[in-house]
């Protein structure tokens, strides 16, 4: 059983307004719900099918914030939060296992096999200092599974801006992961 | 690298990537005149651009769904489940079960030679459920039987109540 939708909405609002402690209270709720939703959806799927991020996040959202009077701004905010939690879970997982996870085995050139989620996390933290919005776009797209249009809505910027940020972030991260840091 | 330098680099790469090779060279010669490091960094971004392909295009969830579904709350996650007062003393080993009101975890008590304990976490905070939970803890303290768990500690966190 979860806290009431009103409570969650209020916590999300508090977080948006800069109350960091609201985040602490939200994380355990969402972490658990994400795991449960992933488990449920995976059980429903035939083997070989991949899990859609949006499906998982939607399910979490419906369970936690099933209230008709929640504004889009809050939902966008919620998805942003889920993406951050996703990143947190995965980084935490790989740190624990002390092993490196290839990002994409399909494009397995020797260099790319070496690319790991933990190194991506580090590079993203660096990028956040140089270009916060571009790093946010990566969070939403890669960890949150949003489309470019949804990201534009969530960040309240135009679609061309999101496309440009994404391209900049990708080549920056690619260069960082392939060959050490730039001065 | 400063944010200003980063912006300049990316802007040069944006513009250069739209130009034919000859014009691109001329453009970078002009813009990076006297700054070899800038030229090198822009070239590096442009090369990465060409190779980026499907890099990061597939959402993390699709690749790591299994991890998410099977991840056990431990290590870093412990801090999200247990309030600070319990974190130092107990380490969660696995989730034993969950119901409508809360979840039960198997844990070790570091203060008592890793004795095994169960921790019940109340996941909702209505006054009624809190009263019921405290009543349950209260009742447990009155019993002494090998088939009934003994209540040893209770604690509160912003989102959950705990008893072990």
**Rounded Cα distance, B163 and B135, in Å:** 12
Domain B72-163 belongs to what topology?
Answer: Phosphorylase Kinase; domain 1 (3.30.200)
Q: Where in chain A is the domain with CATH 1.10.10.10?
A: 100-183
| Confidence band of B72 (pLDDT split at 50, 70, 90) | low
Complex ipTM more than 0.85, yes or no: no
Average pLDDT for A85-90: 78
What residues contact residue A156 under an 8 Å CB cut-off, 6+ apart?
Answer: none
- Number of helices (H), then strands (E), belonging to chain B: the values are 7, 5
Q: Which residues of A68-100 are buried (b: 16+ CB within 10 A; e: fewer)?
A: eebeeebbbbbbbbbbbbbbbbbbbbbeeeeee
For domain A100-183, say whether CATH 1.10.10.10 is its number. yes
Q: How far is A112 from chain B (nearest CA, A)?
A: 9
Query: Which residue bears the tokens 């740190």?
Result: A95
Residue A10, SS3 per DSSP: helix
Average pLDDT for B97-116: 77
Per residue, the 3-state secondary structure of B66-121, as one string, reads HHHHHCCCCHHHHHHHCCHHHHCCEEEEEEEEECCCEEEEEEEEHHHCCEEEEEEE
Question: pLDDT above 90 covers what percent of chain A?
Answer: 26
What value does the mean pLDDT of chain A take?
76
Q: What does the pLDDT look like over A115-163, one tens digit per residue?
A: 478 889 999 999 999 999 999 999 999 988 888 998 998 888 999 999 9
pTM to 2 decimals? Answer: 0.63
What value does the mean pLDDT of chain B take?
79
Q: Which chain B residue has the Cα nearest residue A27?
A: B80
Q: Above 80 in pLDDT, residue B71?
A: no
Cα B16 off chain centre by: 38
**Rounded Cα distance, B30 and A160, in Å:** 27
| Confidence band of A48 (pLDDT split at 50, 70, 90) | low
**Rounded Cα distance, A176 and A71, in Å:** 38
Which has the higher per-residue pLDDT, B36 or B70? Answer: B36
On chain B, the residues whose CB falls within 8 A of the CB of A51 are 61-62, 65
Q: Above 90 in pLDDT, residue A114?
A: no
Q: Above 50 in pLDDT, residue A176?
A: yes
Give CA separation, A148 vs A78, A125, A137, B139, in Å.
17, 21, 9, 55
The reply to whether B59 touches chain A by the CB within 8 Å rule is: yes
Average pLDDT for B105-112: 81
What residues contact residue B48 under an 8 Å CB cut-off, 6+ apart?
Answer: A170, A171, A172, A174, A175, A178
Q: Above 80 in pLDDT, residue B37?
A: yes
**Rounded Cα distance, A152 and A183, in Å:** 31
Nearest to B124 among A1, A34, A86 (CB): A1
Question: pLDDT above 70 covers what percent of chain A?
Answer: 72
Does B75 sit within 8 Å of A92, measured CB to CB?
yes
Q: Above 60 in pLDDT, residue A102?
A: no
Average pLDDT for B40-65: 88
| Number of Cβ within a 10 Å radius of residue B26 | 12
State residue A60's pLDDT score: 75
Does B125 sit within 8 Å of A3, measured CB to CB?
yes
Domain positions in chain B are: 3-52, 72-163
């Amino acid at each position: 059983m979860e806290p009431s939708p009103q409570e969650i909405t209020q916590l999300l609002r508090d977080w948006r307004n800069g109350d960091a402690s609201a985040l602490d209270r939200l994380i355990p709720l969402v972490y658990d719900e994400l795991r449960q939703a992933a488990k449920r959806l995976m059980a429903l799927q035939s083997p070989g099918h991949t899990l859609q991020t949006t499906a998982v996040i939607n399910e979490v959202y419906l369970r936690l914030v099933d209230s008709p009077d929640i504004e889009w701004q809050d939902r966008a905010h919620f998805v942003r939060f889920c993406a951050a939690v996703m990143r947190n879970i995965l980084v935490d997982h790989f740190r624990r296992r002390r092993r490196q996870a290839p990002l994409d085995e399909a494009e397995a050139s020797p260099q790319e096999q070496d690319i790991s989620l933990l190194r991506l996390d580090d590079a993203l933290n660096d990028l956040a200092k140089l270009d916060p919005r571009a790093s946010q776009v990566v969070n939403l797209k890669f960890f949150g599974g949003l489309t470019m249009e949804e990201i534009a809505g969530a960040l309240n910027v135009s679609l061309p801006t999101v496309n440009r940020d994404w391209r900049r972030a990708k080549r920056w991260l690619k260069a960082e992961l392939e060959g050490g840091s730039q001065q | 690298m400063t944010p200003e330098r980063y912006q300049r680099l990316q802007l040069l790469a944006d513009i250069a990537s739209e130009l034919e090779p000859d014009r691109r060279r001329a453009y970078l010669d002009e813009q990076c005149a006297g700054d070899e490091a800038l030229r090198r960094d822009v070239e590096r971004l442009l090369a990465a651009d060409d190779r980026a392909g499907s890099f990061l295009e597939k959402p993390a969830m699709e690749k790591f769904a299994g991890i998410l579904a099977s991840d056990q709350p431990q290590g870093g996650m412990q801090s999200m489940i247990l309030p600070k007062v319990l974190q130092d003393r107990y380490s969660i080993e696995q989730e034993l079960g969950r119901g409508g009101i809360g979840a039960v975890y198997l844990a070790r008590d570091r203060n008592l030679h890793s004795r095994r304990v169960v921790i019940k976490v109340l996941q909702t905070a209505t006054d009624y459920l809190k009263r019921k939970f405290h009543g349950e803890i209260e009742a447990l303290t009155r019993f002494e039987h090998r088939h009934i768990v003994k209540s040893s500690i209770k604690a509160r966190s912003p989102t959950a109540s705990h008893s072990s």
